[in-house]
Structure 1
Amino acid sequence: MGVKSVLGDLQIVVERHSDVLRNNALPFRFLVVLRIIGFIVSYLHFARSLLWLHPYQLASIELWRIATSAFCGHNLIDVLWSVWCLHFGTNLVRLNNTNESLLKLYAITQGITTLVIVVFAYLTYIFFDSIKFFYIEPLVGMTPVCAAVMVLMKQFLPDTIVLATPFGRIKYTHLPFLAISVSSILALTKFIYFVSFLQIAIGVQVSWTYLRFYKPHETDEIYGDGSEHFTWASLFPSRTQLFFTLIGKVCFRSLARMGVCKRQVRHVDLNSLQSVAVGINLPALENSAKDSERRRQKALKELNERLNKTRTAEVANYGNWDDEENDEPSSVAVVSPPASNVHSTSRPNTDNDKESMA
């Protein structure tokens, strides 16, 4: 009973504070704090031996290292970039995403990238007898998450200028390729591990693949982002996009034939389109009918006013006529405008005129 009551209270607390987790940047600030703590404790030997991840350690099923290694690492460049992406970059892309979708993307990118590099390190150890990736260089840091943030920025604001340089303008759409290029230079100059470059390159590919083909939409059953500005070739410079477009088509067709990928099929509901069309056209028809009725009423009012003026003039001019002559109806021809559909009328009495108009 005690455990059930505690779980019930915990569920109430989570439900009450769910809006905070969904709408605020609190989860991402928590990740920033964990990354800074991991940076500090990474200078301790026992923390490195307990929390860091080397690919060979997964053979002994030390699976907790997949999660803890993401917050570790004592490279200052990696820490500053992670803090910037989790703070500024995440606050920017949150305008177009929910906290749940962002955290899901970050977890998928970090986890899949780590597993891919572990497999890569194992294969290089088997076939090339290389111990660099399998034993020496650790898999630490949140560089895959940073790569995912770069891809999200490209998706959300592709044409927005980040920085204007003498060589050209840097836009958000250039950030993924720029991250890969800069990290390759830093890896060659030994400022970062070479495995960090692999984390960024694979992280860009994993996050783009998820956003392009697998991310579900909240309002319908469509998956991914099929827009032209988010193609695989757009990850590269514009002058090389034609070449990479051909490579992308060949790779996608090959994967589709093997059953790894599926072509996107867009379903259009004609009934929903018809209902939308009816919803758009009915107000216009209703306004047109009201306008016609308004013109008709105006024409009737003008007709009655003219008939009254005519009757008043007849009484003034022929007031001395005999009663028999006054009883003879006087004929007044009225020509109505075509739009009003009012016919010519001949009546001496205003009440009868109104009845005939009705």
Structure 2
Amino acid sequence: MPPRINIPPVTRICLIVLLVQSVLSAAIRYRQWTANSEIVIPYLNLIPQLSLVYPWTFLTTTLVESNIFTLSIAGFTLYHGGRYLERAWSGRELAKFLLIVSLVPNALVFATTIFFFALTRNEGWTLMTIAGTIPIQISFLVAFSQLVPAHTVTLFRGILSLRVPRFPLLYIGLVTLLCLTPMLTAASFLLAIYGLIVSWTYLRFYKPVFPDLDASQPAHLRGDASETFAFAQFFPGPVRPLASSISDQVFNVLVAMRLCTPFSAADVSAARGDHHHHNFAQRGVPGSARAEAERRRALALKALDQRLHAATANAAARASNAPPPPAVVPPIPSATGPTVQSQPQAGAQKTMTVQGGGEMLGETSYNPDGDDHK
């Protein structure tokens, strides 16, 4: 009997909606296809000039893909990323996150196309289809950058090694290249940019902190004040000071508009894990107790390996230094009866010699302070 695939409810619903809407879109395009016209579906996709009478398209258009290649990538992303985040955050938090990173970027791209139309009077901007899971995909990468900022992914058999916070910028570069081909439009590039900004802003300032069971943590904490999740961390080392300066200026504008609230000293101290605030979990890595448990588990494994190695060496040494067994004296033949053979004693114990291998079973290391330039 094949194993059952366990998909959490929110992720399962998103996958079903993605498949149904994408198949429906393909069927409509197939039935209405002509060689001389471009088919648009204003009641399913967001099209600035045509979709104002269909307000639900601001949300539904995110789970519509136009070809099998992008549909496969979207399904793969939702299946793996959705399952991971739903189990880490809960289904309610994932649903809220998906709603925000779908609705807000679509609305911002809608406003941007209207703005460019007002500047250029080019009607192509208002007839551009805004659709696809690009904002969800890049928002998942941003979420992983928050959850596991110290982890490194090795690609192509060790040729390329990148830390997780580098992937959002790499993804934007890939989308930019595909926008130069007929596969994606300029709307996809805008969706990637706004998806990065919106998802980071929500996780940085607004998302409630999921309480760690291993740490005493107030329930009202929101956002992530840690330096490991600063916006500049998405950029390589040489560009990081410039990115930090620009993000600080934008943050000051948002604070002045009362769209963001500055972090307090206690928030920053809690994020850094200062000893004066040891009762707070590090906000830089939601679930930081899991990271601490991972570090402790690595140290425990190392200590266990060392103890096993020492025990193996001691057993081998005791076996080599054990006294030789007593010589067996042959029985004296009896003159009147048969020979009596000596029998082994019932209480005798056999000694098992363990050869020392000279190597530990393995070593696990956890290095949260890896090279930032990777």
TM-score higher than 0.5 here?
yes
Alpha-carbon distance in 2 for matches of 1:159, 1:131? 46
Q: Deviations over 1:79-111 (max 9, x none)?
A: 122112211122233343111111101101100
Shift of 1:63: 0.8
Q: Deviations over 1:89-136 (max 9, x none)?
A: 22233343111111101101100011111111111111221223311x
Shift of 1:203: 0.6
AA aligned opposite 2:249: V
AA aligned opposite 2:44: L
Residue 164 (1) aligns with residue 147 (2): no
Alignment-derived partner of residue 67 in structure 1: 59
Alpha-carbon distance in 2 for matches of 1:167, 1:248? 32
Shift of 1:73: 2.8
Alignment-derived partner of residue 11 in structure 2: 28
Alpha-carbon distance in 2 for matches of 1:187, 1:105? 26
Alpha-carbon distance in 2 for matches of 1:246, 1:168? 29
Shift of 1:217: 2.3
Alpha-carbon distance in 1 for matches of 2:7, 2:79? 12
Alpha-carbon distance in 1 for matches of 2:10, 2:84? 15
Shift of 1:224: 0.2
**Is the deviation greater in 228-237 or in 76-85?**
76-85
Alpha-carbon distance in 2 for matches of 1:113, 1:145? 10
Matches within 5 A, 1:1-358: 25-43=8-26, 44-45=28-29, 48-59=41-52, 61-135=53-127, 137-165=128-156, 168-219=160-211, 220-267=219-266
C-alpha contact 2:74 2:137 (8 A) present in aligned 1: yes
AA aligned opposite 1:52: N
C-alpha contact 2:9 2:91 (8 A) present in aligned 1: no
Change (3 A) 1:104 1:53: same
C-alpha contact 2:22 2:65 (8 A) present in aligned 1: yes
Where relative contact order (Cα < 8 A, 6+ residues apart) is larger, the structure is 2
Shift of 1:234: 1.0
Alignment-derived partner of residue 355 in structure 1: none
| Count of residues in Structure 1 that have an aligned counterpart in Structure 2 | 249
C-alpha contact 1:121 1:134 (8 A) present in aligned 2: yes
Alpha-carbon distance in 1 for matches of 2:23, 2:204? 36
Shift of 1:262: 2.2
Alpha-carbon distance in 1 for matches of 2:153, 2:68? 23
Alpha-carbon distance in 2 for matches of 1:142, 1:249? 29
Which structure 2 residue ranges, 5 or more long, are not aligned?
A: 1-5, 33-39, 212-218, 268-275, 280-374
Shift of 1:267: 4.7
Alpha-carbon distance in 1 for matches of 2:238, 2:160? 14
Which structure 1 residue ranges, 5 or more long, are not aligned?
A: 1-22, 277-358
Secondary structure of the corresponding residue to residue 50 of structure 1? coil
Change (3 A) 1:77 1:194: farther
Change (3 A) 1:254 1:49: closer
AA aligned opposite 1:150: L
Shift of 1:58: 4.0
Alignment-derived partner of residue 298 in structure 1: none
- Once superposed, what is the RMSD of the aligned Cα atoms? 2.6
Shift of 1:148: 1.2
Alignment-derived partner of residue 6 in structure 1: none
AA aligned opposite 2:12: R
AA aligned opposite 1:172: V
Q: Deviations over 1:248-282 (max 9, x none)?
A: 122222332343322112558xxxx99x8xxxxxx
Secondary structure of the corresponding residue to residue 51 of structure 1? coil
Shift of 1:24: 5.7
Secondary structure of the corresponding residue to residue 163 of structure 1? strand
Secondary structure of the corresponding residue to residue 155 of structure 2? strand
C-alpha contact 2:149 2:164 (8 A) present in aligned 1: yes
AA aligned opposite 1:48: I
C-alpha contact 2:65 2:133 (8 A) present in aligned 1: no
Change (3 A) 1:255 1:31: closer
Change (3 A) 1:52 1:257: closer
Shift of 1:51: 1.4
Pair member with larger Rg: 1
Secondary structure of the corresponding residue to residue 131 of structure 2? coil
AA aligned opposite 2:225: G
Change (3 A) 1:64 1:253: closer
Alpha-carbon distance in 1 for matches of 2:198, 2:152? 25
Q: Share of identical aligned residues, percent? A: 22
Shift of 1:185: 0.5
